A and B are shown apart, each in its own frame.
Chain A
Amino acid sequence: MADFNPSLVTLCCENSAFLVAEEENLPGVTPVKIPCGGQVEHYHILNAFDQGADGVMVLACLKENCKHFWGNDRAEKKVNYVKGMLENIGINAERLAYSPVAANNEYKYGELVKEMYDKLKEMGPMEGKVKK
């Protein structure tokens, strides 16, 4: 599937990852600002898939560095929960990932996104995608 260009959504915490994501303008990647990892709802993750994303990443602050104390831990838990949901409906859970990124770590953001992007490329289009 050489000609498949996946679309990836990164839900980025405005205190860390979004500051990086704004700078890095990567093709096929749509950064979406969230106020804190704690604000991530499964509804929004599923909605992103529904709107045509092939993969979703939730990027929040490093462990014990959250401005709102446990927002990043909550985000990680929520991502694991939604992974289970995805599996239940026959979607590869690998399409969803959680990673901590610091506000000054552009390199890590780039690497993480690239890794995910390559993985998605291999996986091909979303299993559940409805052709419109």
Chain B
Amino acid sequence: MNAQRKYPPAPEEMTFEPKVLVVGGGASGILSAEKAAELGLSVVLIEKTEELGGKAAQLSFLYQSNLSPSQWLKDKISSLEKNNKVTIYTNSQLEKVNGQVGNFKVTLNIEGKKEEMDIGAIIMATGMDLSSKMPAQVEKGAGSFLSQMEFEKQFTQLASGDSKTFVLVVKEDDFLIGCINALKYSKKLKEANHNVYVFFDEMKVSEEGTEKLYHQVREEGVTFIRGTNNLKIGQEEGKFSLTTIDPQLPVKLAKELVINFDYYIFNEDLLPGADTGKLAEILRVNLGPGGFFQEDNYHTEPVYSNRQGIYFVGACRMPDLLHNVQEQAGAAVNSIYQLSVADVKELMEKTPLIDVIKCAYCLTCYRSCPWNAIDLLYEIEGAAWDGAPYLHPLACQKCGCCVAECPNRAISFPGYTDEDMQKEFKKIGGKV
């Protein structure tokens, strides 16, 4: 028989591997890797395509500054490549995750080869998918209809020349990116003396500086028209026109408005990345609204998942602007740091503990833990069934669900044991 382990493991055995796995090499992954490396953690950055950069590298400009996003990311990538704390694998994917925070056993698929690693914490930065649908069936001149992402790629070319007419249509969706893109385009286009019409359902200007931008472009002569539902697209001799009735006007005043346009720019639907569901299964985390990773729990921080040591940054949790993504990366890395320096011994004293003699290894606790905080240990000294689950002190949130569900009442929760509860109940009716 093998040497048997003591239960519970000693606090010294609970080490925290100072290594972070960042999944996804877009802007959010790059920013997360950068932050983690700044803190002295080693970083493994994996990207499923051939090169880093993601969607942010395709943007032509930002509304906040004159910074070129692609150049900015290129600088960041080359400094990550030079950093010896950071290992970058392209064409790689996450295959399997075992263990708990501090000691995840992760299997990666690196260019077709499987590799196992010990990882302390995982940052998911897998981004989003875009889906665009042409607003109209046209026989020729389909090049006049561009989604925002396509427009970004050819912006300089299309914005040259003069007095073209651009129609920017922002259909209602849950995120503010469509509106902010339309505002930033209008500013540049107006500067180049083009005619700009913006059709929108809700102008979302909650980000810093965007309301000012909205007023500024309005004053400069961009026409804003509310309502995107009654837009009729007509085609005559290779020219396109848009007919609509301003729904905000009283019926008596409402007249048909006809705009002859050269380009029609529409916003895409922002969807969770295609493998989000599969990754959620691998990581054993819950999905939030709309199939994104975002956890719908207002008690926890936005970047948190329902497992300690797994964080969501960037568009995979919710499509957001770059400066917010930067903050999220900081928040995730900060939590990793705090976990890595946490006092395990003190946490252990508060964590519920399984009595290995009573435990029948039925795994009810394992299944009922909302934080998936339970590790499975084997070859435990004195255990009735060779091993027992272990409530990981760093991962456990001390909710007591497993304590209540255990059919054999094998788990005792410090502070809420039968004796502690009995003591409370002694106060019933005023008798102490």
Contacts and interface: CB of A to CB of B under 8 A. Distances in A.
**A and B from one complex:** yes
Interface of A: 7, 9, 15, 28, 30, 32-36, 38-41, 43-44, 47-48, 50-53, 64-65, 67-71, 74, 78
B400 A36 contact: yes
A111 B20 CA distance: 50
A30 B401 contact: no
Contacts of A35: 398-400, 413, 415-416
B116 interface: no
B403 A68 contact: no
Contact of B399 (A39, A41, A44): A39
Contacts of A64: 296
A100 B297 CA distance: 17
A52 B400 contact: no
Q: Which of B299, B413, B415 has the most CB of A within 10 A?
A: B299
Contact of B421 (A32, A52, A69, A71): A32
A70 B428 contact: no
Interface residues of B, number: 32
Contacts of B286: 69
A65 B298 contact: yes
A30 B424 contact: yes
A51 B404 contact: no
A43 B299 CA distance: 29
A33 B403 CA distance: 16
Contacts of B416: 34-35, 39
A43 B430 CA distance: 22
A124 to B, nearest CB: 15
A34 B425 CA distance: 13
Contact of A69 (B297, B398, B425): B297
A28 B400 CA distance: 27
Interface string B400-432: 110111000100010110100110111111110
Interface in B382-398: 397-398
Interface of B: 286, 296-300, 306, 370-371, 397-401, 403-405, 409, 413, 415-416, 418, 421-422, 424-431
A50 B429 CA distance: 13
A102 B341 CA distance: 34
A38 B404 contact: yes
Nearest to B413: A39
A15 B425 contact: no
Given A34-B400, A68-B399, A53 B370 contact: no
Specify the main secondary structure of chain B where it touches its partner: loop
A47 B425 contact: yes
Contacts of A78: 404
B299 A15 contact: yes
Contact of B401 (A28, A43, A52, A71): A71
Contacts of B409: 41, 43
A38 B401 contact: yes
A41 B368 CA distance: 14
Contacts of B425: 9, 30, 32, 47-48, 50-53
B228 to A, nearest CB: 32
A28 B427 CA distance: 10
Contact of A7 (B298, B399, B422, B428): B428
B428 A48 contact: yes
Contacts of A9: 425, 428
B428 A53 contact: yes
Given A69-B286, A69-B306, A41 B427 contact: no
Contacts of A48: 425, 428
A71 B426 CA distance: 26
B429 A52 contact: yes
A51 B400 contact: no
A67 B401 CA distance: 12
A127 to B, nearest CB: 17
Contact of B426 (A33, A39, A51, A68): A51
13 contacts: A30-B427, A30-B428, A35-B415, A38-B370, A44-B418, A47-B421, A51-B422, A51-B425, A52-B428, A53-B429, A67-B299, A68-B371, A71-B370
Contact of A39 (B297, B404, B422, B427): B404
Nearest to B299: A67
Given A30-B424, A32-B424, A7 B429 contact: yes
Contacts of A70: 370, 401
